């Protein structure tokens, strides 16, 4: 039983040490991914801000131009401005989707990292329990061996005292027989 518990404890401790060993690597990867993701989000947010600024200025320009004389040139300029607004709107929509995807990736990275940390903590608790189990089993085995030695000693003492009592009884019988013979001889 002790050997089985020792095997389990060594396996659990090995798992914990491996997890702890890779913890620094996980932390480094997590930090690097976090900084890359933060920079990427900032870059995409800057693009969204630029597109929104362009949309605002183009809308204002469109309002200003549309107050002018109607004509073919005005319609061309308005169509050009309208296509630019549409292009910037698409860019902003795409960038928003990208930011959403990157934030989901960030959440997935955080979840993976916290899962690894939680797993390491569980393995540490499991290793501590396994070590305590081995120590308890070893103490129990030691106590059982000591108890067995005490039982064997008491058994030996009981056997020797019983043999001693039997020899004294045999001696007492001989003395009694001798006494009985002597009394019988005196009576004759």
Cα–Cα dist 4/25, whole Å: 32
Domains of the chain, residue spans: 2-187
Q: What is the pLDDT of residues 95-124, one digit of tens each?
A: 999 999 999 999 998 998 888 888 888 888
Shortest CA distance to 106 belongs to which of 44, 27, 41? 41
Q: What is the pLDDT of residues 12-68, one digit of tens each?
A: 888 778 877 778 888 888 889 889 999 999 999 999 999 999 999 988 888 888 777
Which pLDDT does position 1 carry in this prediction?
Answer: 61
CATH classification for the domain delimited by 2-187, as one of 1.10.10, 3.40.50, 1.10.287, 3.30.310 = 1.10.287
Torsion, CA 178, CA 179, CA 180, CA 181, rounded to 10: 50
Q: What is the mean pLDDT of the chain?
A: 86
- Token reading at 100: 């959403």
Cα–Cα dist 109/102, whole Å: 10
Predicted TM-score (pTM) of the model is 0.56
Give CA 159 to chain center in angstroms: 57
Cα–Cα dist 69/73, whole Å: 9
Which pLDDT does position 96 carry in this prediction?
Answer: 92
């Amino acid at each position: 039983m002790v050997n089985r518990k020792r095997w389990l404890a060594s396996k659990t401790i090995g798992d914990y040490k491996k997890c702890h060993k890779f913890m620094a690597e996980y932390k480094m990867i997590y930090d690097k991914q976090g900084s890359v993701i933060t920079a990427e989000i900032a870059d995409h947010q800057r693009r969204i801000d630029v597109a929104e600024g362009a949309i605002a200025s183009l809308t204002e320009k469109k309002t200003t131009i549309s107050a002018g004389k109607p004509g073919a040139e005005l319609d061309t300029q308005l169509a050009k401005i309208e296509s630019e607004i549409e292009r910037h709107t698409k860019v902003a929509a795409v960038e928003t989707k990208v930011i959403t995807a990157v934030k989901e990736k960030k959440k997935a990275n955080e979840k993976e990292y916290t899962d690894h940390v939680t797993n390491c903590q569980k393995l540490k608790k499991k290793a501590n329990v396994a070590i305590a189990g081995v120590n308890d089993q070893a103490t129990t085995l030691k106590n059982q061996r000591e108890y067995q030695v005490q039982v064997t000693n008491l058994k030996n003492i009981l056997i020797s005292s019983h043999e001693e009592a039997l020899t004294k009884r045999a001696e007492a019988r001989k003395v009694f027989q001798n006494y009985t013979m002597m009394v019988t001889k005196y009576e004759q």
